């Protein structure tokens, strides 16, 4: 009989750094809500800049440096709280730029993702993925604008509610809605 003392030792797998970064970004509004009033924003800003700069792919390191510069400038100007609360704005702006850049320099980001599952994407699929990329650009623009308003004018409770709940719900609804429409479009194309 195997007991915990003589059970085979299972190797402990470390959690990948990208997973930790992703979880931190998702939990950022809650971290800010609980830690900002008690600890101030400087530690949160330093942690965020260090983690994001460390995990950025090599070609994007200059964006990390620019981001660090903006955050440090805000901190030095006495706006640490705004710097901490601006992370959702910066993420939405970055995603908007990434998606919009892919529209200007095809293939679009959504087309690239679609071709992983369907390498021979028909022209109608290319048009569809381009339209979905435009839709996500609009979402990031609107969501980032609301996040900016909450960072500048809303209290910490409303900022947390929007950026830590409502924004995730809206992006999930957009993702789910697009997935449903995509299934209908695929079945219609297959039927025709």
- Among 55, 84, 58, CA closest to 70: 84
Residue 168 to residues 10, 82, 101, 172: CA-CA distances in angstroms? 36, 21, 23, 6
Question: Would you tell me how many other CB atoms lie within 10 Å of the CB of residue 168?
Answer: 13
Tens of pLDDT, residue by residue, the chain (192 residues): 444 444 444 455 555 666 776 777 778 888 888 877 777 777 777 777 776 666 666 666 676 677 667 766 776 777 778 878 888 898 899 899 999 999 999 999 999 999 999 999 999 999 999 999 999 999 999 999 999 999 999 999 999 999 999 999 999 999 999 999 988 988 887 776
pLDDT value of residue 115: 93
pLDDT value of residue 4: 45
Burial-class residue 143 by CB neighbours within 10 Å (0-12, 13-18, 19+): buried
Kindly list the domain boundaries of the chain, sorted by start residue: 15-84, 86-192
Tell which phi-psi region holds residue 7, choosing left (phi > 0), alpha (psi between -120 and 50) or beta. Answer: beta
Q: How many residues does the chain have?
A: 192
Q: Which helix (H) or strand (E) holds 3?
A: none
* Contact predicate 80/41, CB 8 Å: yes
pTM greater than the 0.85 cutoff: no
Q: Can you list the alpha helix ranges (DSSP code H) found in the chain?
A: 17-39, 42-55, 61-76, 80-85, 87-104, 109-117, 123-153, 156-161, 167-191
pLDDT value of residue 7: 46
Q: Which residue has the tokens 């998702």?
A: 26
pLDDT value of residue 30: 85
* Contact predicate 81/151, CB 8 Å: no
Cis upstream peptide for 107 (omega within 30°): yes
pLDDT value of residue 15: 59
């Amino acid at each position: 009989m195997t007991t915990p003392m003589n059970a085979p030792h299972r190797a402990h797998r470390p959690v990948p750094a990208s997973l930790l970064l992703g979880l931190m970004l998702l939990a950022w509004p809650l971290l800010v809500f609980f830690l900002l009033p008690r600890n101030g924003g400087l530690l949160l800003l330093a942690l965020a800049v260090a983690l994001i700069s460390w995990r950025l792919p090599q070609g994007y390191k200059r964006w990390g440096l620019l981001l660090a510069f903006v955050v440090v400038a805000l901190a030095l100007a006495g706006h640490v709280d705004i710097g901490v609360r601006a992370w959702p704005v910066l993420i939405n702006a970055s995603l908007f730029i990434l998606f919009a850049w892919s529209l200007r320099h095809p293939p679009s980001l959504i087309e690239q993702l679609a071709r992983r599952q369907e390498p021979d994407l028909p022209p109608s699929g290319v048009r569809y993925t381009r339209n979905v990329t435009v839709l996500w650009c609009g979402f990031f623009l609107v969501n980032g604008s609301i996040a900016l308003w909450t960072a500048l004018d809303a209290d910490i409770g409303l900022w947390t509610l929007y950026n830590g709940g409502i924004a995730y719900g809206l992006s999930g609804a957009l993702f789910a809605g697009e997935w449903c429409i995509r299934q209908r479009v695929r079945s219609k194309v297959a039927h025709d």
